[in-house]
Structure 1
Amino acid sequence: MNLAIGHPDRQTRIPAPPFLAADVGGTHARVALMQPPQEQGGEAELLAYREFACADFPGLPELLQAFVKDEVQMPVRHCVLACAGQRMGDEVLNDNSAWPVHLPPLRRALALDDLAILNDFEALGYALDKPLAHSARLLCGPAIHVDGPALVIGPGTGLGAAVRLPDAAGGSVLTTEVGQMDFAPYSLREREILAHLAPAGGYVAYERIVSGPGLLVVYAALCSLRGEAPKLATPEAVSAAAAECSDAQAVEAVEIFCAALGSFVGSLALAFMAVGGVYLAGGFLYSMFASLERSAFEERFLHGRSARAFLSRVPVWVAEHGRHGVLGAARWYLRHGAPGSAISRQAVAGG
């Protein structure tokens, strides 16, 4: 995995330079300095790592510059960015971003020779086999790891998902925007909430319900339906009040959130025949594990009739987001780096 120069029989190995790997969501950004592996088949080494609140910075260039200033003692000319949303030309489009992400100013601000972009859940998909799969807690289904299509799903600031498909090269990942699918109510109460959110009908995305902000939306809708003013102002406050059983609307909001998540995840598992399992990623869900366990998640995930026979064999795991996004982004970069960069030449040379 090093560059080689000189006579083919007496090649001199030049260590590849470190690169930045950033995992940028709507609320938090995780940034790492990664050292490429020094031999074929090895893993990149994490040299430095920090987590930032996006709201603390006017833009992504300033956030990355803060990391470089505090953690990096050498010029860094290569960066891979796992970002919520989808790249369209020189911009990353995402309704939940803390600020617009434009690539040319970012390249100039950090004097980058190479900037590669992928979706943040695509990056998590490349971290599925290790270490994400080995640090997860089983929510329902059999405690097995089967080779086959696998899903990684995360309700956070938005609702993201990706599909990992096994192949001879170690797996490929399909990015999705399934959080933008129309919300499908299951219970009469969910129909009431949908009618409250869209009284004249129309489009309501799943992530409007199944996300961190969505939990707050459901809570506020329940308060309004009961003729009460909301007392809680953040998703964390709602989930905490539900855990303490100190607010009836918070308890019901969490129950509806977990049940709707179960239906959503089960539908995706059927759509992609996810025999490799489902991984629910993110600190938000990980902190709600006890609520998920005692909720209607599993029953709604299993659907009914013939679907239940298949879905009962699909394990559902819950994992913290943590460093998995930057590690997955680094793995993707070493394998699919931008053409012409030193790192991409290594990836090609290493297979």
Structure 2
Amino acid sequence: MSEKFVADVGGTNIRLARVTSTGVTDIKKYLCLNFASLDLAIQAYFDEYSDYQFTQGCIAIACPVLGDQVAMTNHSWVFSQQALQKQLRLSALFVINDFTAVAHSLPALDNSQVVQLGEGTALPSGNIAVFGPGTGLGVEHLTKTSTGWMTLDGEGGHTDFAPVDETDVVIWRYLQKTQGRASAEEVMSGRGIMNIYHALADDQGIQATLSSPAQVTEQALAQSCDICEATLTQFCRIMGSFAGNLALNLATTGGIFIGGGIANRFADFIQRSDFRARFEAKGRMKHYVKDIPTYLIAEPDHGLLGAAAYLNQHITSEL
């Protein structure tokens, strides 16, 4: 029997699943570093589920998808879409940006799959934005058209980091000094947490001894390290300001959503943080954003669900 599959490819992990009439199942996660190329990772999934004959698929990937040749931003995989379809013996293959997939999942999420941060009420047909700190920083907008929801692709994670308070300025100066440019991704990602941590430690003349964002987050939540707490506090503030900018960019009265692999690890911390205060801190435009809701996506499989929605929509449209 012909089967459909979806893949959610990040800089660290690739997650794959089989598409069913009600969603996705048989979800597996592999480390990207364990495979020399994308086709080998997907073939490993096919081999693991050899009872199924996969003939159609959608790959959501963390990089721009502008033509046949796809090169990942935060990993070494480079491939041709046409060659990959032939290698995997598929009748149909769609390759989309990972946040295009995330965006397609949003209209289908219910209250049990999101956590609201602060006040605000979504308008049913209002524009939506989603961003997700992970290995990198994905950003996507979604708008309602006469034929349904349509994503507006871009690379918003690589826009300039705009300092708002004095601590932001410390971080901006550190990035300018060490990297030559301060982008949003360099403060809102795994390495962004480390950049903030090193910047604050450097500013206070303290030795930075931790080596991973997980360590920084763990010590911040345990309240065992002042610099780590300050790092996570500023991370949440920066996310709030960035979310507010997205709201201003496209009048996102349908809400702003946070996805990615990081924020869910400290959802309670975000709720208690200045995230929402910084979201609304837009001066004369505070009235413009104050009623726009902000959400944390709690559904772990939203990327796969979005890829499945995209696949089903586009296969139907081509029939």
CA distance in 2, matches of 1:211, 1:228: 23
1:46 corresponds to which of 3, 21, 24: 24
**Residue 19 (str. 1) matches residue 7 (str. 2):** no
1:272 to 247, 250, 271: 250
> Which residue does 2:309 correspond to in 1?
331
Residues of 1 paired with 2:57 and 2:198: CA distance?
41
Does 2:155 match 1:170? Answer: no
- CA deviations on 1:36-84 (whole Å, 9 max, x unpaired) are x5xxxxx5x4342212222332221121111111124133222211111
Cα displacement (A) at 1:325: 1.2
Matched, 1:92 2:77: no
2:47 aligned residue: 69
Alignment partner, residue 224 of structure 2: 246
Indicate the residue corresponding to 2:280 in structure 1.
302
1:311 maps to which of 275, 289, 295:
289
Please give the alpha-carbon distance, in whole angstroms, between the structure 2 residues aligned to 1:81 and 1:99.
13
Name the stretch that deviates more: 153-162 or 124-133: 124-133
Q: Is the 8 A contact 1:282 1:321 kept in 2?
A: no
| Count of matched residue positions in the alignment of Structure 1 and Structure 2 | 319
- Mark the CA change 1:122 to 1:229 in structure 2 (over 3 Å): closer, same or farther: same
What is the CA-CA distance between 1:118 and the residue it aligns to?
0.8
CA RMSD of superposed structures (Å) = 2.2
Give the whole-Å Cα distance in 1 for the aligned partners of 2:76 and 2:296: 26
Unmatched segments (≥5 aa) in structure 2: none
Helix, strand or coil: the match of 1:76?
A: strand
Q: Is the 8 A contact 2:7 2:59 kept in 1?
A: yes
- Deviation of 1:262 after TM superposition, in Å, equals 0.7
Assess if the C-alpha contact under 8 Å between 1:242 and 1:251 holds in 2: yes
CA distance in 2, matches of 1:151, 1:21: 23
Q: Conserved in 2, the CA contact under 8 Å of 1:212 and 1:235?
A: yes
Asked if the contact 2:121/2:292 (under 8 Å) is kept, the reply is no
When residues 86 and 290 of structure 1 are mapped into structure 2, their CA distance, relative to the original with a 3 A threshold, is same
Counterparts of 1:110 and 1:348 in 2: how far apart (Å)? 21
Q: CA deviation at 1:114?
A: 2.6
SS of corresponding position for 1:251: helix
Partner of residue 59, structure 2? 81
1:83–1:119 Cα contact (<8 Å) kept: yes
Give the 3 Å change call, closer, same or farther, for CA 145–239 of structure 1 in structure 2.
farther
Q: CA deviation at 1:177?
A: 0.7
Structure number with larger C-alpha Rg: 1
> Deviation per CA, 1:9-28, whole angstroms, max 9, x where unpaired?
xxxxxx8x311111111122
Q: Where do 4+ consecutive residues of structure 1 move more than 4 Å?
A: none
Q: In structure 2, what residue type is equivalent to 1:164?
A: L
Alignment of 1:176-325 (within 5 A): 176-199=154-177, 202-320=180-298, 322-325=300-303
Code of the residue aligned with 1:232 in structure 2: it is L
Select 1:34's aligned residue among 10, 19, 26: 19
Q: Confirm or deny: 8 A CA contact 2:247 2:256 kept in the other structure.
A: yes
Percent identity reads: 28
Unmatched 5+ stretches in structure 1: 1-14, 38-42, 337-343
Shift of 1:101: 4.1
8 Å CA contact 2:71–2:77 kept in 1: the answer is no
Partner SS, residue 126 of structure 1: helix
Q: TM-score, normalised by structure 1?
A: 0.84
TM-score, with structure 2 as normaliser: 0.92
Q: Distance in 2 between matches of 1:177 and 1:20?
A: 26
Give, in angstroms, the shift of residue 141 of structure 1: 1.8
